[in-house]
């Protein structure tokens, strides 16, 4: 029985560490977390070797880190707690996030098409079950009903909020000029820069759907579950968004795919 408990104990610790690494992957936090682990191992090593002064010094440093860690990792911790919270079925039922309205999809598709035609870059995030409070708080609050003119205006190069992403929840634009987490560990084709990386990173860390319009090529892409579907027409974007919302439980592995209107291949 004690053996079984120890196995469960180790598995749970492993699961928590895995979740933390997953959230911090590619961020500066991962280097800090590595540093903390090295310090901890050095502390264990020095105390088991009986190196008293060194282990006392390392113990002090670790004590100071315990106070500093929640400050250093505040965004990562928030994201971790949010992702934990949104997996709680009772909380999910209680908070009951508004579903993405079909008319919001149509409006976003139309706006993406005209932004693509005008070669204006855009990053549009649809929040689903996973809360994106940190993302929303990184931008400026809008809280307006989704409409084509507003979406286009927000990304217009002269607009003060054109840099960053807009966050849509239900049928409302919650915020604009939002910063998305960047996972530098994801491998992307060379021609894609930080806009695509940001969309893909958020889709790998949450169940958000992210529409990316490239300023450089005028192409439309959709990031979902850590996959990037590129070169979508307005019609295929609408189709995929509707399909993904219907099968919200669908999961896929990370990757990048190229898509024409009718054919989609995974590379
Ligand atoms: N982490 C981020 N969060 C939100 N927006 C971002 C982020 N990183 C970059 N962006 C947006 O992307 C713009 C830079 O895009 P960049 O040219 O580097 O990427 P890209 O993928 O090559 O896109 P494009 O094809 O449009 O050039 C920034 O000006 C900003 O608006």
Q: For the segment 115-147, what is each residue's pLDDT rounded down to a tens digit?
A: 999 999 999 999 988 888 889 999 999 999 999
Antiparallel, parallel or unpaired: β 165-169 and 220-224: unpaired
Task: Answer yes or no: is pLDDT of 12 > 50.
Answer: yes
Instruction: Please state the atom number of ligand 1 nearest to the C-alpha of residue 197.
Output: 21
Domain boundaries, the chain: 2-86, 98-266
Q: For the chain, give the mean pLDDT.
A: 83
What is the distance between the alpha carbons of residues 157 and 150, in angstroms, rounded to a whole number?
Answer: 13
Between helices 74-85 and 52-72, what is the axis angle to 10°? 70
- Over range 166-189, report the average pLDDT: 90
146: exposed, middle or buried (C-beta count within 10 Å: 0-12, 13-18, 19+)? buried
Q: Which atom of ligand 1 is nearest to the CA of 121?
A: 26
Integer CA distances (angstroms), 232 to 21, 102, 195, 217, in order: 32, 19, 16, 12
Query: What is the model's pLDDT at position 25?
Result: 64
Q: Does the interface ipTM go beyond 0.85?
A: yes
Atom of ligand 1 nearest to the CA of 196: 21
pLDDT: which is higher, 123 or 26: 123
Cα 119 to Cα 134: distance, rounded to the nearest angstrom: 29
With the most atoms of ligand 1 within 8 angstroms of its CB, the residue from 115, 132, 159, 193 to mutate is 193
Which of 57-66, 101-110, 164-173 bottoms out in mean pLDDT, i.e. has the lowest?
57-66
Look at strands 227-232 and 255-259 and give their pairing.
Answer: parallel
- What pLDDT is stored for residue 74 in this prediction? 74
95: three-class secondary structure by DSSP: helix
Give residue 230's region: left, alpha or beta (phi > 0; psi -120 to 50). beta
At residue 95, does pLDDT exceed 50? yes
- Choose between 106 and 260: higher pLDDT: 106
Burial 68-91 (b: 16+ CB within 10 A, else e): ebeeebebbbebbebbeebeeeee
Is residue 76 within 8 Å of 24, Cβ to Cβ? Answer: yes
Q: Determine whether the shortest distance from the Cβ of 216 to ligand 1 is under 6 A.
A: yes
Given pLDDT bands bounded at 50, 70 and 90, which one contains residue 23? low
> Positive or negative CA dihedral for 205, 197, 152, 110?
negative
CB of residue 179 inside a 6 A radius of ligand 1: yes
Q: Average of pLDDT values for 189-202?
A: 92
Provide the whole-model pTM. 0.71
pLDDT of residue 29: 66
| pLDDT above 60 for 62 | yes
Beta bridge partners of 211: 124, 222
Q: Determine the Cα angle at 172 with ends 107 and 223, to 5°.
A: 65
Backbone angles phi, psi at 118, to 5 degrees: -85, 5
Is residue 77 predicted with pLDDT exceeding 80?
no
* Mean pLDDT to the nearest integer, 36-40: 81
Residue 44 vs residue 33, higher pLDDT: 44
- In degrees and rounded to multiples of 5, residue 224 shows phi and psi of -155, 130
CA dihedral 87, 174, 30, 18 (to 10 degrees): 10
pLDDT of residue 28: 61
Tell me yes or no: is domain 98-266 CATH 3.40.1700.10: yes
Any atom of ligand 1 within 6 Å of the Cβ of 188: no
């Amino acid at each position: 029985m004690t053996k079984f408990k120890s196995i469960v104990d180790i598995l749970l610790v492993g699961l928590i560490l895995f979740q933390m690494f997953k959230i911090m992957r590619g961020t500066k936090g991962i280097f800090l977390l590595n540093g903390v682990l090295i310090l901890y191992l050095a502390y264990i090593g020095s105390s088991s070797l009986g190196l008293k002064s060194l282990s006392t010094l390392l113990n002090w440093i670790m004590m100071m880190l315990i106070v500093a860690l929640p400050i250093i990792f505040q965004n990562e911790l928030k994201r971790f707690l949010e992702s934990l919270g949104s997996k709680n079925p009772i909380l999910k039922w209680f908070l009951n996030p508004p579903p993405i309205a079909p008319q919001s999809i149509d409006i976003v598709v139309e706006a993406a098409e005209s932004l693509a035609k005008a070669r204006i870059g855009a990053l549009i995030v649809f929040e689903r079950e996973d809360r994106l409070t940190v993302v929303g708080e990184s931008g400026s609050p809008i809280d307006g009903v989704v409409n084509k003119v507003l979406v286009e205006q927000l990304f217009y190069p002269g607009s003060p909020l054109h840099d960053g992403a807009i966050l849509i929840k239900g049928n409302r634009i919650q915020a604009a000029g939002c910063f998305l987490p960047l996972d530098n560990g994801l491998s992307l084709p060379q021609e894609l820069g930080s806009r695509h990386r940001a969309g893909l990173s958020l889709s790998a860390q949450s169940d958000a759907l992210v529409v990316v319009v490239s300023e450089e090529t005028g192409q439309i892409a959709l990031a979902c579950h850590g996959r990037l579907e590129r070169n979508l027409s307005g019609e295929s974007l609408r189709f995929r968004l509707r399909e993904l919302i219907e099968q919200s439980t669908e999961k896929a592995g990370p990757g990048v795919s190229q898509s024409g209107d009718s054919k989609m291949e995974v590379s």
